[in-house]
Amino acid sequence: MTFEALGLHTSILKALTEAGYTAPTTVQAQAIPAALQGRDLLVSSQTGSGKTAAFMLPALHKFASAELQAGGRTSNQERQGARARGERPRFQAAQPKMLVLTPTRELALQVTTATDKYGSQLRRVRAVSILGGMPYPKQMQLLAKNPEILVATPGRLIDHMESGKINFDQLETLVLDEADRMLDMGFIDDIEKIVAATPETRQTMLFSATLDGVVGNMAKRITRDPMVIQIAGSATKHENIEQRVHFVDDLSHKNRILDHLLRDESMDQAVVFTATKRDADTIADRLNIAGFAAAALHGDMHQGARNRTLDALRRGQVRVLVATDVAARGIDVPGITHVFNYDLPKFPEDYVHRIGRTGRAGRNGLAISLANHAENMNVKRIERFTKQLIPVNIIEGFEPKKSASAARPSSRKPGGWKPGDNRGNAAKPGQRTFSKPGAPRKEGGFGKSTRSDDAYGARRSYGDR
Ligand code: ADP
Ligand code: MG
């Protein structure tokens, strides 16, 4: 399958070549043709699978075709005309044709950046992010340009709708990116309000880690005859990410293991996830004192500071990012080789999103959870959700005092992992998949895996759920 075969506009094909994309990902190959036909979509597929292009390329294709026919937007020309005649342009509400809703500011910025990349050859298409935390005059300036594409977090968007700065009468395409996350964050009322303000004729595309439960119910309400695309093992597979859990006795044990693993020579960049903003700050400070180039990222920071931190991460100046879940989505930095769960996530879904910060763009990654003995149940919950065992790992010299027999060392040697290492070697046990009832049990295929049940110690009673 090629992008040409999908029938995308030549200007988009050119941008994709420049971006170094050679072929569509699975989700793109399935979603793009349906989206080009104007169908509504409900899509779940794992993080890093290329969902942004799956919805943005068809939209840009539509803009590119319209651009050829109409030669630009009349409303923009009218505005400019008024300015040229020296009239003070009356304020007109921005009337975007496409709206992308995202849960976080980082994700919104990432979608905008990707749109600029995919649309680099389209002269007249502008994408703009409207975010909480951005100075109001700046937002007004952006809206005054009447952008074709608006990427927004729900809260701030509602403010602008209510004050008449934006209306959706011209809206053709609505995208809900990471819809499950938006609902987790309590945006359901905002989303319903926004959707109600858009024309019924719109095309709606919803992306989510899961299409069950609340998300599924909302999806049904806001789409018409949607095509459902679920990429096998969606959201949970992460074949290129090795997972481990280290059991710790206490905080000082946890910190010692973290410091040790951060010094591993295979580590390029890491994200360390904490449960609270305060912990993110404290741990970043501590790591800095210990000589790591560390920085915190969480929802209490101003947007400017968050952007600076993410830029520094992208440039490699920050090697260890200490973040909360709210900052987790949308971080797409290929240099991240390691993800640490300093605290286990509250929801198993978040585990999947966290570990998806590594292993980006087809690379390999290592995801390490540091759990108290009492958190064994939480580890099991994650395993049930991902249908994968997370092997227990013990490092010589850092053995937990408690439950030593419950978690015996796996056969792997500490520090033996390198990026690019875990295809078909002993690092495979983490990918042991659990068969769904009725599905053929997938055994073998782990190369010369030396996994024995010993590696899982007391947790081999996995099946007793
Ligand atoms: P998702 O939203 O599914 O988590 P993204 O849209 O953020 O995934 O894409 C993940 C990464 O993969 C990005 O770095 C993106 O540039 C890259 N990518 C997307 N599609 C392709 C493709 N067809 N070929 C190569 N890289 C791609
Ligand atoms: Mg995405």
For a ligand 1 pocket test, name from 332, 353, 360, 363 the mutation site with the most ligand atoms within 8 angstroms of its C-beta.
332
Q: Digits of tens for pLDDT over the chain (465 positions)?
A: 899 999 999 999 999 999 999 999 999 999 999 999 999 999 998 777 899 999 999 999 999 988 665 544 444 555 555 556 665 556 689 999 999 999 988 899 999 999 999 999 998 888 999 988 888 888 999 999 999 999 999 988 998 999 899 999 999 999 999 998 899 888 999 999 999 999 999 999 999 987 888 899 999 999 999 999 988 654 446 778 899 999 999 999 999 999 999 999 889 999 999 999 999 999 999 999 999 999 999 988 888 898 899 999 999 999 999 999 877 666 888 899 999 999 999 888 889 889 989 887 667 899 999 999 999 999 999 998 888 899 999 999 999 987 544 443 343 333 334 444 433 333 333 333 333 333 333 333 323 333 333 333 333 333 222
Return the CATH number at 199.
Answer: 3.40.50.300
Q: 100 and 201 share a domain?
A: yes
Q: 196 and 300 share a domain?
A: no
Residue nearest to atom 26 of ligand 1 (CA): 21
Expressed in angstroms and rounded, the spacing between residue 249 Cα and the centre of ligand 2 is: 36
Of 339, 16, 66, 350, nearest to 184 by C-alpha is 350
Structure tokens at 208: 């989510």
Expressed in angstroms and rounded, the spacing between residue 156 Cα and the centre of ligand 2 is: 20
- At 424-451, the pLDDT tens digits run 333 333 333 333 333 333 333 323 333 3
Q: Is residue 272 part of a domain?
A: yes
pLDDT score at 349? 82
Q: 252 and 224 share a domain?
A: no
- At 10-66, the pLDDT tens digits run 999 999 999 999 999 999 999 999 999 999 999 998 777 899 999 999 999 999 988
Pairing of strands 127-130, 149-152: parallel
Segment holding 29, helix H or strand E? helix 26-36
pLDDT score at 214? 86
pLDDT score at 426? 34
Angle, alpha carbons 192-198-202 (nearest 5°):
110
Beta-carbon contacts of 138 under 8 Å, excluding residues fewer than 6 positions away, are: none
Q: 197 and 246 share a domain?
A: no
Q: 242 and 226 share a domain?
A: no
Q: 247 and 225 share a domain?
A: no
Expressed in angstroms and rounded, the spacing between residue 332 Cα and the centre of ligand 1 is: 9
* DSSP tag of 235: T
Beta-carbon contacts of 411 under 8 Å, excluding residues fewer than 6 positions away, are: 426, 450, 451, 452, 455
Q: 228 and 112 share a domain?
A: yes
Q: Report residue 112: phi and psi, to 5°.
A: -65, -45
- Ligand nearest, relative to CA of residue 178: 2
Domain boundary among 234, 268, 290: 234
Q: Is residue 465 part of a domain?
A: no
- Contact between 227 and 41 (Cβ < 8 Å): yes
Alpha-carbon distance of 241 to 257, in angstroms, equals 20
Q: Is residue 463 part of a domain?
A: no
- At 178-198, the pLDDT tens digits run 998 899 888 999 999 999 999
Alpha-carbon distance of 81 to 260, in angstroms, equals 64
Residue nearest to atom 19 of ligand 1 (CA): 50
Alpha-carbon distance of 128 to 443, in angstroms, equals 48
- Contact between 198 and 99 (Cβ < 8 Å): yes
Q: 210 and 351 share a domain?
A: no
Q: Residue 304 sits in which domain range? A: 238-456
pLDDT score at 296? 96
- Position in ligand 1 atom list of the atom nearest CA 20: 25
Strand order in the sheet with 294-297: 241-248, 365-372, 336-341, 269-273, 320-323, 294-297
Expressed in angstroms and rounded, the spacing between residue 460 Cα and the centre of ligand 2 is: 34
- Ligand nearest, relative to CA of residue 45: 1
Expressed in angstroms and rounded, the spacing between residue 333 Cα and the centre of ligand 1 is: 11
Residue nearest to atom 9 of ligand 1 (CA): 50
CA atoms 392, 397, 398, 403: torsion sign: positive
- Ligand nearest, relative to CA of residue 107: 2
- HEC string of 413-464? CCCCCCCCCCCCCCCHHHHCECCCCCCCCCCCCCCCCCCCHHHHHHHHHHHH
Q: Is residue 84 part of a domain?
A: yes
pLDDT score at 252? 96
Ion ligand 2: residue ranges with CB closer than 5 A:
51
Expressed in angstroms and rounded, the spacing between residue 47 Cα and the centre of ligand 2 is: 6
Domain boundary among 194, 214, 234: 234
Q: Is residue 93 part of a domain?
A: yes
Domain boundary among 234, 262, 289: 234
Alpha-carbon distance of 32 to 6, in angstroms, equals 7
Q: 251 and 284 share a domain?
A: yes
CA dihedral 114, 116, 117, 121 (to 10 degrees): 150
Q: Is residue 269 part of a domain?
A: yes
Segment holding 50, helix H or strand E? none
Q: Is residue 461 part of a domain?
A: no
The binding-site residues of ligand 1, defined as CB within 6 angstroms of any ligand atom, are: 21, 24-25, 28, 47-53, 332, 360-361
Indicate the number of domains in the chain: 2
